[in-house]
Structure 1
Amino acid sequence: MQRPIIVQLNGKYFNEDNELVINQPIPEALKKRERPYVEGTLIADDNNTYFVPFRSKLNSKLVREFPELVLELPTANKPQAGLDLTKLLVVRNDINFKVSRGYINYDQYKELTKRQEELLTKIENFVNGYKKEVSRGGPLNSQYRYTTLKYFHKELGLDAIKIHESKRLNEARKIIKTIYAHDATSNDAIKYLSNSKIPMSQRLKVADKIIAAQKSQTKLIHKKKSLER
């Protein structure tokens, strides 16, 4: 059975605002203002090493709604302690990831030793689920919405071209072309979605409204057909 690797992030990964920086600032990543490192455990696969941070108090809503995204490791003093998979850091195996030895409660260490396979499975499922969500396009489901994985698309094999944004724009354009009348308004909408000078966030808001309206209309059609039978 593989023993857990407990580490602390090197202080060099934090900027002057105490934000974690790995290639770029990661606002969602855990940071401690009172110390220049974060404790966590390392798990590796064939391509990447994953740093999973410890939390002394896991988010209760996350634990309740998405238990697959945490590994609870409670202690007498910290009954809500555990690992938070939503704040994973991903580093390619060929990169020199600077960490130092870390320490956790002995009972936590024993429990984590027994649950290494469970942790690896949770990480694999979470990462694969996120990759599928991004590749599918459309707004991300809530369990993926605030994860740090969005900063590691290159490491995860996702193209730097924001795949999910592009798919949402393409889906909205397709809906306009196939469902709506071919008039000036439709042409203007397509031009708006395609205009790179307009901020992506604004174009995506319009695209999401078009997609949502189409899905709502489809549900009404199916409901009407079932009533007519």
Structure 2
Amino acid sequence: MTASRSSPLRTRSSPTPGGDTAGGYVAHMSVEGTDRSAAALKAALLDEIAGTGLFTSAAAGDEQPPADDDVVAHVVDAAYRGSVAHNERMLASATGAAADRVDADGNGWLFFLPFLPFDGASVVRALDILDRIHLATGIRPGSTVNALDADVIDLVVSFPFDRATQVEAFAYLLLRARAAGELAPGTDVRSTTRFLVTLTHGLRVMERTAGRDYLAQVVDQALQGLSCTA
């Protein structure tokens, strides 16, 4: 398989986990076929891309590998070839810890996967919402537009946060649970947020001496107290 990729588009910035588009977007496209057909398709795509005037640059991934510090491009190029070789590197870039130390030492990383119609207006509207979130909170959401088929887009939205100051993250999740009818009636979001932050820090201390079963029972008890089915 031969992969060609283009980067970046001359539009507003929408960073992806582990990287930054420096004021634009990066688009990755996969080209498959025999050596001859893939080479022909790649050449045709690069010619079409150049003709649009929308891209500041375009390159074939098999001819010009990503820069060493472009974590996302390495992940995507490897994924097109069926490899997960760089996935843990992206996780470490986003959380600040290796995969086996994320729970103990890493920062937080929230993910949402909204599905959108495959049309420009829907994507623009979704990215405008993310821009407004950035203006209102100072948090820049990461976003990746994945084309699932000709009709549907999976917009991967990520929010990094510092687990040492995770009040905002817990508050958001509790409000979302309340809207979905998953939170026990009468639950106070502010005090419950403080409880969860305290519980999380306690678990991180106890994990050094307590077994997995012990910690699991503590978490189960907390969830039963919050659930509307408790």
TM-score of the aligned structures, taking structure 1 as reference length: 0.26
User: Which structure has the higher relative contact order (CA within 8 Å, separation 6+)?
Assistant: 1
